[in-house]
Chains A and B, each alone.
Chain A
Amino acid sequence: MTSLPANPPSPTVPAAPVRTGALRALQVFGRSFGTVWSNGKARVGLVILAVFVLVAIFAPVLAPYSPHANDFTPDAGGSSAHLLGTTGAGEDVLSQLLYGARVSIVVGFVAGGLSTLVAVAVGLSWGYLRNWLGEVVNFVVNLFLVVPGLPLMIIIAAYLQNGGLPVIVLVVVITGWAWGARVLRAQTQSLRSRDFVTAALFSGESASRVVFREILPNMTSMIAGSFFGAATAAVLAESGLSFLGLGDPFTVSWGSMLYWAQNSNALLTGQWVLLFAPGLCVALLATAMTLVNFGVDGLSNPRLREGNGR
């Protein structure tokens, strides 16, 4: 039985609208998007990113052939049948390029997302802790920061050879979370000394509620920034590892295209498009995400929104 108040409720007390939470979240998202969009550089980045995402989703529709079909004349130049020519193994370059976007986008978002998740979990709890455990985390994070990323990646990938995409994602996450964790920890520490966090303690809030409802929402822009940073690094790492032959050479990705192009001496045979096109795509995608990050900065720093200040 619902416990209705004994005295008749005054007409001024309707129950709180249930959807306000979701609605407000949507509003906040809309406003954040507007802020990012209002930044010129970020707008360019968002458009490029959107194009790549659409290409990745609609690759089967857009691509003229299957990326694995290898029954064409090998080493052909651009023609109306094969706009960007064919590879040494006789595959259509354009189809491979379009399908390759899938791998890069997926790795970028999944690995970027996962490493941000780890960074947030570690950064928040590390910033909130004030005992010896903090020292332990500090040591571990420093360890990951001090070991150079690429060699570590190569070694891990070499051990887990031929695991395909999941391994690449894992490797990127392992090597990529530490930087974000440190940044978020610093922010947590500065936020936790703010009055409103102490006030939450006086309101009788539990530690987890203080962390997730008071501190975390105030770091959204930093988390978004850290996500795009990690995603950029993940895209570059994926192509790098594939280019070195440490990924699965039979999945079609921009990195593996570069790997095969290198193996078949594409430059010597005049097939520069083979190297140029995937390389340009990797660079463009990474640039797009970096550009988006310019706008994300404006989210947390209103002064950057003022514009002409400098």
Chain B
Amino acid sequence: MSLLDVKNLSVVYEPRGAEPTMAVKDASFRIEEGEFVGLVGESGSGKSTLGFALTRLAKPPARIAGGRILFDGTDVAALDSEQLRRQRHGGFAMVLQSGMNALNPVRTVGHHFADIFAAHGHVPRQRRRSRAVELLEKVELTGAVLDRYPGELSGGMRQRVSIALALSLEPRLMVFDEPTTALDVMVQHAVMRTIRELQEREGFTAVLISHDLGVVLESTARVMVMKDGVIVEDAPSREIFERPQHAYTRTLLGHYADPRAEVVELPGLPADGRRTAPAGGGRGRAAAQAAIVVEDVSRVYPGRRRGDTPVAAVREVSFRLEPGQSMALVGQSGSGKSTLAKLITGVEQPSSGTISFGDLRVDRLRRRKLHKLHADVQMVFQDPYAALNPLHTVEYALTRPVVNFTGRSGADARRRVLELLEIVGLTPVEQFAARLPHELSGGQRQRVVIARALAADPQVLIADEPVSMLDVSLRAGVLALLRDLREDFGVSLLYITHDLLSARMVTDRIMVLHEGRVVESGPTAQVLRFPEHDYTTRLLDSLPQPARRFAAAGSDGDAA
């Protein structure tokens, strides 16, 4: 008998005063004891809702509308809260995406373990501490962590602690809901490796929910692909990777490529080979004339409390962004990329060094003069959900920079706004102009953000992780837009990202930042294909590469 048997499961969301939506439609599948299964889908596909339903964590307004979930033969939906609580020991457990925030900040890690042991009484009092240390060692932490408070641990360590806590009840089924999404790339890689090894060693049954097909293919033996609440494909990982059946799976898979390859292509984004020619032709209206010159720039933040050592976010960075050039700035979180963006746009001022744009000294600009800089240097924000004021229409958001920077007004300004919407591909323009941000999808919002940056006719665009919040299928469109803009208008682009693949797609040159210093720079293709610095190699290695697993493991690949 299968450990988990889901039959015709439907979950419906019934918010008050809104139409109910079916998040999961008629899902049926079985999971055998000891199996490691991936559940993949984009945002809104219902994958997390399904995960929550499996572990009986679904809360109103979500409701199981039909079907059954049999866990080891018993119907999960029928359990009352006491039975549910008791079965958590040796039953099913869940590790959440924000698991690192699930720890109580005023209690030590040791207390968290003690609470669980006390609630279930399955570990004798004198054995508790040694058992906790044992569990922590499984997730590659030491017993020293027990006396620390969650706030003193890094995000990756906290996620490891919450995995150890989930393990403490010796669950037979573990559901990981995007366990690494909120973590930095390199930490992500390490935590996933731990999860994989843990599953192999302990032999528990596991479900890994993720939006990232690459991560799932690298770890699991079987993959279920979900789209709009329906499981569209369910097959062994190798099968999915080599012979995807459903068109949607093929689309998802199409967005994976190795940035180290000789030629990199993504759907909607043709190979990068052809872009060696300089951006010629175009309309030339906004063509960049001035370079951004950064010399020996450092930015030091004072310690949080008095007596703390100051933090150097950027250290002695120098580079030139030539007119019309596109340059990538890559590094893991905390490497100083975003700080550098703030310095270049004058939002913050460097502690030392100079930044100039044409004859403007950016590092000395007072707040009132920022207007002059922003007429030429504009920014595309990371989070399209936060970068638009929820109360203003698209038209308002675009009209303001047009009026402020180009001196147009009235019907003239409106014509320009519609033109901008046309450029970023939001047609019919009239309809989009009248919309409020909540009526747009993430990708559409990001296009509005890009249109707003273009409204000033800037010479330089600074894009801070413009696609990291978007689903893979939307990314290609936004990236293609950025690339075309550069070619058609000749603007320079500083592309800040941790995603090496997209850097490869849109930029000519690359700078690798590590702990505030530039460790490597050069033509993008060359640096990524033949990295010289050890850190660049590590960054490249942390990318999920399902191809590597299936190639290296040969025919016995998914036996693990």
Contact = CB atoms under 8 A, between A and B. Distances in A.
B339 interface: no
Given A194-B386, A305-B17, A218 B391 contact: yes
Given A203-B400, A204-B400, A15 B61 contact: no
A203 B404 contact: yes
B456 A195 contact: no
Contacts of A38: 17
A13 B411 contact: yes
A195 B383 contact: yes
Residue among A5, A13, A28 with most chain B CB within 10 A: A13
- Classify the interface of chain A: helix, strand, loop or mixed: loop
A66 interface: no
Interface string A217-229: 1100000000000
Contacts of B370: 201
B69 interface: no
Interface in A1-31: 3, 5, 9-10, 12-13, 15-16, 28
Contacts of B375: 204
Interface in B450-480: 452-453, 455-456
B46 interface: no
A306 B61 contact: yes
B389 A214 contact: yes
A15 B395 CA distance: 12
Interface residues of A, number: 30
A10 B401 CA distance: 22
B61 A203 contact: no
Given A204-B405, A309-B60, A5 B391 contact: no
Given A16-B395, A195-B383, A202 B453 contact: yes
Given A12-B418, A15-B411, A309-B60, A199 B388 contact: yes
Contact of A203 (B412, B415, B418, B452): B452
Nearest to A209: B400
A307 interface: yes
A196 B389 contact: yes
Interface of A: 3, 5, 9-10, 12-13, 15-16, 28, 38, 194-196, 198-205, 213-214, 217-218, 305-309
Given A12-B430, A194-B386, A305-B17, 9 more contacts: A3-B412, A10-B415, A13-B414, A200-B400, A201-B370, A203-B456, A204-B405, A217-B391, A218-B389
Interface of B: 15-17, 59-61, 345, 347, 370-371, 374-375, 378-379, 381-383, 386-392, 395, 397, 400-401, 404-405, 410-412, 414-415, 418, 429-430, 449, 452-453, 455-456
6 contacts: A10-B415, A16-B395, A196-B386, A199-B379, A307-B16, A309-B60
Minimum-distance CB pairs A-B, first 4? A204-B404, A203-B401, A195-B386, A195-B387
